[in-house]
Structure formats: C-alpha cells, structure tokens
Amino acid sequence: MAVAERVAPAATAPPPAAVPERSPWPRRFVWVAGIAALLVVGLRFAPGFPDRFVLGVGSVFDGIDTWVIDNQRTHWLFTGLLNPLKDAIQATVDGLVTLLSRMTWVGLVTTAGALAGLVAGWRMGLLAAAGVASFGVLGVWERSLQTFALVAISVVISLAIGVPLGIWAGRRAGVDRALRPFLDAMQTIPAYSYLLPFVLFLGTGYPPALAATVVFALPPAVRLTALGVRSVPATTLEVATSFGSTSRQVLRKVQLPMATPSIMLGVNQTIMMALGMVVIAAVVAAEGLGREVLDALKLLRVGAAFNAGLAIVIMAIVLDRVTTAWSCRERERRGRATRIAGRTVSRRALVVAAVAASAIGVLVGREVIRQQEWPESLTFSVAAPVDAIVEWSQRNLGDAAEAIGAALTAGLLDPLRTLLTREPWWVIAALAALAGWKVKGPRLAVFSFVCVFLLGALGTWNLSMHTLSIVLVAVVLSLVVAIPVGILASRSDAVDRAIKPLLDAMQTMPAFVYLVPVLLLFSIGTPVPAVIASVVYALPVGIRLTNLGIRQVPATIVEAAEAYGATSTQRLRKVELPLARPSILLGVNQTIMMVLSVVIIGGMIGAGGLGFEALVALSKKRIGQGVVVGLSILLLAIVLDRITQAMGSAPRSLRGPVGLSGMGRWPKLRAIRGSVSSERTDGTNGKGEA
C-alpha cells in the first residue's frame, strides 16, 4: 500500500539520533510535583465554571418539544414519515409477540430446541429449549416474548442495514474512512444519552426503543463485516481477478464466503448489543423484561428485579452460545453431511425433521394442551428466595457492606469529588490538555482542553465532575484487581482455564444486570452500588487484555530473555509487560468506557451526576436539558476515550501484535473473548504487512 512503508530499506536509512540515556525518576518527579502545584494553586481561585461563560444551549432546544406537540398531527414530517414509521414498528413488534404467543408454550419450546439443534447441534438444541422453558418457570413468559420480539426485530434491521454497509466499507477504503467517525461516536456514547430525541419524535414504547437499539447494535455488524471483507488476502483477490472474475463474482465467490466467520461474529455481537439495551428500552416505556427489572428496582423489590434479570441473562447466554456454536459448526462442517449414530444424514433430512418437530410442537400446544401461556402451576419465581437472601445478608453482612461503602465514600469518592468540584475549570482543562499532549501531541492537547471547556459551557460542570469522580475511582479499583489477575492468568494455565468460563459468563451479561446483586448489599442512594457494579462489569476486559498481551509476547523473545538468565520477575518487568503494554492500555481504555456506561446507568439508582439528570430530563421530556446532558456525556466519553486510546498507540515501536486497532470497542472486547474469536475475525492477525 503506502509506498514508503513497503520500500524504505532499513539498511540505507540513517540511524535514528541517539537518545541520551537518563533515569526516568527525576522527570516523573517533576511531573508529579508540577501537577500537585497546579492543583494547590487552583484551590486559590474561584471553583468550577463561571456562569458568564455558560451558553444557553438547552434553551435553543426547548422550543422543539412544544413545536413537536403542536405539529404532531399536522406537519408532513409526522403525518408522512414518522407516524407511519412509528405505527409500523409498533405493529411489527406486536405482531411478532402475538405470533409467538399463538405458537403456545409447548410449540415455542420445541421450535427453539429444533431450530437451535439444526443449526448448532443437539446440545445447543437442549440449551435453547431449556432456556425458553426457564422464562416460563421464572414466571415472566409474556415479558420474555416481548423482549425477544423487540430484540429479534432490532437485530434483523441492524443486520439489514449493517451488513451491506459493511460490505461496501470493506470494498472501498473511502467509504470505510467516511463511516469510521460515525461508528466511533455510536460506540462511544452511552446509549442512555440519545434516547430523548427518539422519544420526542417517535413517542414512547417500542418505536423509540427499537430505534435506539438499532443505533446501538449497528456498529459491530458494520465493523465486523467490513473487517471480514477487508481481511481477505490481497493475493486471493489477485487469484480471482487473474481468472477473469467480475467485481460481483469476486464478492460472491471469494470475499463473502471468506468473510462469513467474521460476519457471523458480527451477528452474535449485534444480538448481544441489542440485549444490552433491554433495560434502557424499558426507560422509554417499551414492554418487556427490562420493564419488570426497572419497576421492581423503583420499588426496591430486589428479588423481583433479580428474577427478571435472570431471564435476561438466560436469553443472552442462550443466544450467545447458539450463534457462536452455529458459526463454529458451519466452519467445520462446510456443507458436509452430518453423521448421527454412525449414519450419514443429509442436510435436507435434518431441516425436514426440525420443521416437522416444530410443527408438531405447535399443533400439540394448540390442539391438545390448548394453552398459550406457560401454566401457572409450573412457575417458580426466584423473587422470594432472593428477597430472603437479601434480608439475611442485610442482617448479617449489612454492617460490613455499610462499612465498606462508607470507607469507599469517605476515603475515595468524596475527597475526589470535592477536589474536582473545588478546582477551577481551567485546572481540570489544563490537566486534560497535559495528558493529551503527553500521549499524543499538541492537537490532542487542544482538543481535550476545548472539550473540557465545553463541558462547562454546557452548564453541567458540577454534574460532570461528579460523574468523572465516580468513574475515576471505579476505573482505578477495577484495574487494581484486573491487572494482577491478568498477570497471574498469563503465568499459569490452570488459573487461565479456571477463570475463562467465569469471564465468558460475565461478558455475556448486559451491564444493568450487574446492578441488581450489588443492590442486595449496598444501600441505594449513594454512588457505591454503581461503583461496585461498574468495577465488576469492567473486570473481565482488563483481565483478558492483560493476559492476552503477555501471552502474545513471541516465544522467541521470552526464550532469548531466559537464555540471558533473566529471573521470572525480570522477564515480566523487562520483557513481557513492556511488550504487552499496548494490549494492557487497550484494556485501560475499555475499562474506562465500560465503567462510564455503568456509572451513567447507575444514575437511576442513586449514583447521581449526569446519569440521573438524563433520567430526569427523559421522564419529564425536557428536551433542552436532555440535549445538554447527552452532549456532556458525549464530551466526557470522547475525551476519556481519545486520551487513553492515544496512550495505547503512543510508542510505535512498542505496538504489539494485537491486530485489533481497526475495530471499535465492543468487537475488540469480543474478539478477545478467548483467542478463538480473534483468530476467527482476523486470519492475518499478527502478520500485518507493514
């Protein structure tokens, strides 16, 4: 590609100027002292952001909601476009829910089992059947159908848009470049912050929920499709061209088949992202499991919330495992006949059998059992036992938890928040600029400064600092646990094997679910539950990326270090950690973004800050406030993301073989879920040309 990269011959290039060797300590000391001095000086000035710089951004938008209400029945935008769209979405989701109910519970359990069995093997069939049955057992049958219908339709729409877009981007570098900032933004902004416009224009219920879910779930479909198409080796394309393929033939016969594993991963990701939106969908009054969780939490009925949350987790696990097994099997089988009990069975026979089983199930349900809903007598809600556990633990562990919470609040959260809110805005902005300068250069410094200034100008300074303080505390706590565990896992295969299933399970669960068990112990109304939940939520990615980074250090380099007599600690400190740096820093970046998303959601349960403000704006439909808060969240997310991302790519020479830089946040996480998936997405991983 780039001429310079391919040809610059190492032998003729002049050697780089020697860098004088110096101990890092004095410089680091200067930095620390300088920052401390800045903070101390800052305290002598007026805290926060001066009112006279605050722009009335909110009021600009405040007129919109009255305009919407006035014109809803008359303006062409609504009568011609939005209202029909809204009705169509509502009708489609309702229709699917009705269809699913009419299939009856017997029919659904058999159909789920038969379909999953067909595409992913009989074990997955059993898992799917058991999963569907569990919705009934938990007593959330109707709610589960609603959630499933919303998720299914969102996923279909996301894929219908995302896959073609991804193919286009994969074939044309220009399209890819043009799409990238949008995809980045869609993946950086917590979904919560863009709900309001959807509510305003599409009302409440399924339509805005579906629209927001599609926005949230689209990026992985586009990215992984594009990645798959792009990673078809140039030589393979050359082969196709040399035999006289047309562009369409290249796409159909080479690029698409070879991108299929990556596209399948994209499907999996899109489903998981859509499930992650279930509770947020409930915020805009969409029916479903999320609604159950949210309502229960509002009434502090932890047991009921847990019960519905469990159903979400089960749905997530079933869909994740089935789609993953499906793509793995497709790869292995590649159109060969399946063998059952030693005899080959043709694909068609299997399809016929699966369809027949489903049909029989539906018939039995409709004509023999004659009952659509899961029978009452077969339910067992875990709400009561969970409530008992809550009560027990509050009685016995409540004091300890209270103490931990108090310590966390008094020791970290409060002091940091006080510091951040007491400093004048320019100190914070200067610190962000310094960080930007140090990791990347003047452009990022200016960018960071401006973003922080805008936070103030939006008029959300104190809320933002509040949220920032919680995020920083949670990030530090998460990393303090994750990095050592990751190192441990990289050193010992036994540890690695032991924690892998746990991490898999943790990464399958939607963020909100983490809040529920935390609420068992920590009282609502303080940021503590949000901190704990976000720490736990972000742990897997930190652990995984540390582990992966160290394990990816080439064996030859480790061998060389050992040949020179390095001790195990020396090997870690002087070879493995430096080489794993990019991966670990990617982990830091991911941790921050994940923590931020939970802290924002945590606004609902007392974390306060921007998240709470967003909820208020949403429930009172204050569009101006909503826009301002949404923009603030966006700014905060972008600054944190850019700085930590640049950190990971700072020293080029240290950039490890983690070939993930072209991917967004979520695919990255997933690609790292077991090295399997990173192989699956990127066959050329680690063998990059340049």
Rounded least distance, CB 238 to another protein, Å: 6
CB of 171 to another protein, least distance (A): 17
Pairwise CA distance, residues 266 & 251, whole Å? 18
CB of 172 to another protein, least distance (A): 18
What minimum distance in Å lies between the beta carbon of 443 and another protein? 24
- The contact set with another protein (CB under 8 A) reads 3-4, 7-9, 12-13, 235-236, 238-246, 249, 253-254, 257-258, 260, 334
Stretch that binds ligand ADP, among 1-9, 317-325, 456-464, 480-488 (CB under 6 A): 1-9
Alpha-carbon distance of 381 to 390, in angstroms, equals 15
Name every residue whose Cβ is closer than 8 Å to that of residue 655 and which is 6 or more positions away in sequence. 582, 649
**Residue 238 vs 414, nearer CB to ligand ADP:** 238
Rank residues 3 and 18 by Cβ distance to another protein and give the closer one.
3
Name the burial class of residue 567, with classes exposed (0-12), middle (13-18) and buried (19+) by CB atoms within 10 angstroms of its CB.
exposed
Distance of closest approach, residue 177 Cβ to ligand ADP, in angstroms: 20
String marking each residue 5-24 x if it binds ligand ADP according to CB under 6 A = -xx-----------------
Q: Which of 4/19 has CB closer to ligand ADP? A: 4
Paired tokens of 383? 């709400």
Q: Applying CB under 6 A, does 4 fall inside the site for ligand ADP?
A: no
Contacts (CB under 6 A) with ligand ADP, residues 132-151? none
Taking the C-alpha atoms of residue 582 and residue 166, their distance in angstroms, rounded to an integer, is 27
Shortest Å distance, C-beta 441 to another protein: 24
DSSP 8-class letter at 48: B
**Is 253 or 443 the residue whose CB approaches another protein more closely?**
253
Residue (13 or 494) nearer to another protein, CB? 13
Whose structure tokens read 């007593």? 139
Tell me how far apart the alpha carbons of residues 637 and 190 are, in angstroms, rounded to a whole number.
Answer: 8
- Rounded to an integer, what distance in angstroms lies between the CA atom of residue 530 and that of residue 401? 14
User: Of the two residues 7 and 494, which places its CB atom closer to ligand ADP in the complex?
Assistant: 7
Instruction: State how far the Cα of 634 lies from the Cα of 464, in Å rounded to an integer.
Output: 11
CB of 170 closer than 8 Å to CB of 259: yes
Which residues are CB-contacts of 398 (< 8 A; sequence separation ≥ 6)? 521
Least distance between another protein and beta carbon 689 (Å): 13
Rounded Cα distance between 662 and 670, Å, is: 14
- By a kind-dependent CB cut-off of 5 to 8 A, residue 260 interacts, out of another protein, ligand ADP, none, with another protein
- Phi and psi dihedrals of 340, rounded to 5? -120, 125
d(CA 175, CA 169): 5
Q: Distance between the two ends of the chain, CA-based, in angstroms? A: 9
Q: Which does 246 bind (CB under 5 to 8 A by kind): another protein, ligand ADP, none?
A: another protein
- Indicate the residue among 3 and 299 with the shorter CB distance to ligand ADP: 3
DSSP string, 61-101: HHHHHHHHHHHTTTSHIIIIIIHHHHHHHHHHHHHHHHHHH
Question: Who's near 328: CB < 8 A, 6+ residues apart?
Answer: none
Query: Residue 492 binds which entry of another protein, ligand ADP, none, with Cβ cut-offs from 5 to 8 Å by kind?
Result: none
User: Closest distance between another protein and the C-beta of residue 228, in Å?
Assistant: 12
CA distance 361 to 260: 32
Binding-site partner at residue 56 among another protein, ligand ADP, none, CB < 5 to 8 Å by type:
none
Q: CB of residue 247 vs ligand ADP: minimum separation in angstroms?
A: 20
Q: Which does 675 bind (CB under 5 to 8 A by kind): ligand ADP, another protein, none?
A: none
Task: For the CB of residue 10, give the shortest distance to ligand ADP in the complex, in Å.
Answer: 13
Q: Which stretch binds ligand ADP (CB under 6 A): 2-10, 166-174, 397-405, 416-424?
A: 2-10
| Among 131, 588, 87, CA closest to 323 | 131
- Shorter beta-carbon distance to another protein: residue 265 or 475: 265
Decide which of another protein, ligand ADP, none touches 333; Cβ closer than 5 to 8 Å per partner kind: none
Q: Give the residue with the Cβ less far from another protein, 10 or 17.
A: 10
Name the nearest CA neighbour of 521 among 348, 206, 306, 252.
Answer: 306
In the complex with ligand ADP, the residue whose CB is nearer, 6 or 336, is 6
Closer of 234 and 299 to ligand ADP (Cβ): 234
Looking up tokens 């339910």 gives: 379
Among 3-11, 43-51, 136-144, 601-609, which window interacts with ligand ADP (CB under 6 A)? 3-11
The option from another protein, ligand ADP, none interacting with 567 (CB < 5 to 8 A, set by class) reads none
If one counts every other C-beta atom within 10 angstroms of the C-beta of residue 190, the result is: 24
Residue 337's binding partner among another protein, ligand ADP, none (Cβ under 5 to 8 angstroms by kind) is none
Query: CB-wise, 227 or 401, nearer to another protein?
Result: 227
Look at residue 338 and give its three-state secondary structure: strand
Give the footprint of ligand ADP on residues 594-623 (CB under 6 A). Answer: none
Q: How far is the CB of 3 from ligand ADP (least distance, A)?
A: 5
> Which two tokens mark 402?
């209270």
Residue closest to 108 by CA, chosen among 90, 86, 128:
128
Which option in ligand ADP, another protein, none does residue 679 bind, with CB closer than 5 to 8 A by kind?
A: none
| Beta carbons of 616 and 604 less than 8 angstroms apart | no
27's contact among another protein, ligand ADP, none, with CB below 5 to 8 A by partner kind, is: none
* Shorter beta-carbon distance to ligand ADP: residue 3 or 11: 3
Contact 449, 429 (CB under 8 A): yes
Contacts to ligand ADP by CB under 6 A: 3, 6-7
